[in-house]
Structure 1
């Protein structure tokens, strides 16, 4: 081999090395939670009207919402591109496994999104949907995949005693429902500020101290600490992947997104086109991140708050459970924003 060949060989190796370095830098610099929403003609990933088990409160199209642009946006992170959701690949990767969402109605929202995404990928594959107590199970029989939902609003326990219903901030007996899972996706916050007749507890207890009420954000943080200790002491993270869904925001104050005349999400037809939200992140996001930072075992935060804040157009508003008498700016239309949450989950679980 002559000098010229050596130079060519060295040059080729240098080019390959530089390309690999650039790819590595791109991968390391990929923040899946910072980016913008872009219009994509290939979206939505499924037609909600052909998802036979979708609940009425999320089925905005069936409920008569006339504009459908909310379902045609794709989440585009800065510096990289999410792998497109592939339901067959998801089912093959998780064959024989159990996946469980644990949380409130936002967990229900994401669970419904994932089951619709998967069913639309294998529409002729037999499935079974059962509910026992607080747990719903969607089974893809051909793959042996169970996608479960445990409706548990606070993660910590509510116990009925002689004095009434007691929210126990330092107790997680329901954790027995979460064992033997291969993937767990937790969520809580939506109900912590709830007051009045819909509040599902009468007393709050920490140790031997019982009180009628307390600062709700402080209670939220204590409960997260209890849950974090449960993860550290009970969960075998070599077997079970643990995710936390993050804080799903509401849109009831137009001034927060730069539209002071808007009193809610009603009539909103476009997302915010930038990468940041004028009103900033809600305080509970910081509380959650602080609590997660105290857990010694690996827990992945699906940090969906900012990307969801940008989607003032994605809520059911008058096209949810309450129909024209309601205005839901907390939950999300399907297809829609929770599909992006699940595309991010897919990039963690499959890609």
Structure 2
């Protein structure tokens, strides 16, 4: 009996020890679990990063540093493109709304630009707007620049709720009908994306944004301030000027446009050099380059001669539905001398400490003979019988359908802009 009692005591002690171990492990597990959930709750209830923090965080665009974004090829991608639908962007004017005006094919909307040495991040409109918070972007130039401006508005506006965005025109005080500035506002992000009509950069007889059809070109060579005073407050400036220099000669005025009797007639190349010299001096002396990023879009292809890609001489971009696939293809209408003048001007600025980056979109547009409106656009004047009998006579092979090629220009431009917002 005594031996049995001793065994019971030993078992009781052993049982108590084992029970204590079990309780210890249970308490430890509960404590660990509690700590995990407390930490998890802290993660989910912590204060979100402020807009400023988001804007200065490492960007997916940083990986593109050192990559030549303009050397590449077009790749068909109907999963990612188009970035928006034509019918869902209310800001596309009739000149660029190809689907609305009868274009039946849509493959021209489904091409992605693939640089040879890197890949562009997938476009994210909300991310872009967040990074542009509080900024004013201004496109300055001609109708191709307007084409690009409408494109970027369409790319961004879809994620902005109704009532939180607005498009309006700012009219000149002296000329009520002369609307030089169009502006798109994204209120929740305090972002403004503007377009300013100045096809020759300085004052000219083409300054009216709608009534500018002229048989000659007249520029007031020393009068840039009329336009430029409206550019100084932008955080990003995007210039272009090329199409309006296509006439063989221009008149250079040294007095006012009202007194147009004193002028010199010069070649278009010389006039372009003169105006770019005036423009570069203004950019150098009037822009705060610590604040403002500046870009200049290079010339874009105009596919007016089908013989360039193996068609008949009297054919053009009309009915073209596929890009040119021949590497380094170059259409005959692109003036390399004009492009060289721009390059030299920007290089001279850089030597003086002012970095205006050239967005060299020229080669990538060369391939896209399929991207133009041709006859699928709004015409503001009645077409004549002679034109109607031969549609190629009035096909627009200069501007670009939307959605389409200009969306890629803006993806490339944004890659530079967002990298610069450190």
TM-score bucket of the superposed structures, by smaller chain: 0.7 to 0.9
- SS of aligned partner of 1:334: coil
- After TM superposition, give the deviation of residue 56 of structure 1 in Å: 0.6
Which structure would you say has the larger RCO, counting Cα contacts within 8 Å and 6 or more residues apart?
Answer: 1
- Does residue 90 of structure 2 align to residue 38 of structure 1? no
CA RMSD of aligned residues (A): 2.6
Contact 2:330 2:363 in 1 (8 A): no
User: Relative to 1, partners in 2 of residues 1:343 and 1:255: Cα closer, same or farther, differing over 3 Å?
Assistant: same
Matched, 1:330 2:382: no
Render the CA deviation track for 1:260-300: whole Å, top value 9, x for unaligned.
45621101111112431144753221121111111130111
1:291 paired residue number: 345
The answer on whether the counterparts of 1:101 and 1:111 sit within 8 Å (CA) in structure 2 is yes
Question: Residues 167 and 62 from structure 1, CA distance in 2 versus in 1: closer, same or farther, beyond 3 angstroms?
Answer: same
Given candidates 127, 136, 147, the residue that maps to 2:165 is 127
Task: Identify unmatched segments of 5+ residues in structure 1.
Answer: 1-25
Describe how 1:47-126 pairs up with structure 2 within 5 A: 47-124=85-162, 126=164
Unaligned runs of 5+ in 2: 1-62, 172-179, 207-215
| TM-score between the two structures when normalised by the length of structure 2 | 0.70
Pair 1:271-2:308 in alignment: no
Structure 2 counterpart SS, 1:58: coil
Larger radius of gyration: 2
Moved more, 88-97 or 107-116: 88-97
Could you give the per-residue CA deviations for residues 149-200 of structure 1, whole angstroms, max 9, x where no partner exists? 001110012379xxx99512233112100011100000111112248xxx9x
3-state SS in 2 of match to 1:236: coil
| TM-score, normalising length: structure 1 | 0.84
Partner-residue secondary structure (3-state), 1:130: strand
1:27–1:337 CA distance, 2 compared to 1 (3 A): closer
Aligned to 1:312: 369
Q: 1:85 Cα shift?
A: 2.0
CA contact (8 A) 2:301 2:331 kept: no
1:254 aligns with 2:254: no
Determine the C-alpha separation between the residues in 2 that align with 1:218 and 1:301: 20
Q: CA deviation at 1:74?
A: 0.5
Q: Is the 8 A contact 2:330 2:366 kept in 1?
A: no
Q: Give the direction of change, closer, same or farther, for the CA distance of 1:157–1:261 in structure 2 (3 Å limit).
A: closer
Deviation at 1:87, TM superposition (A): 1.2
Deviations 1:64-84 (A, max 9, x none): 101111000001111111122
Partner of 2:221: 169
Shift of 1:257: 3.0
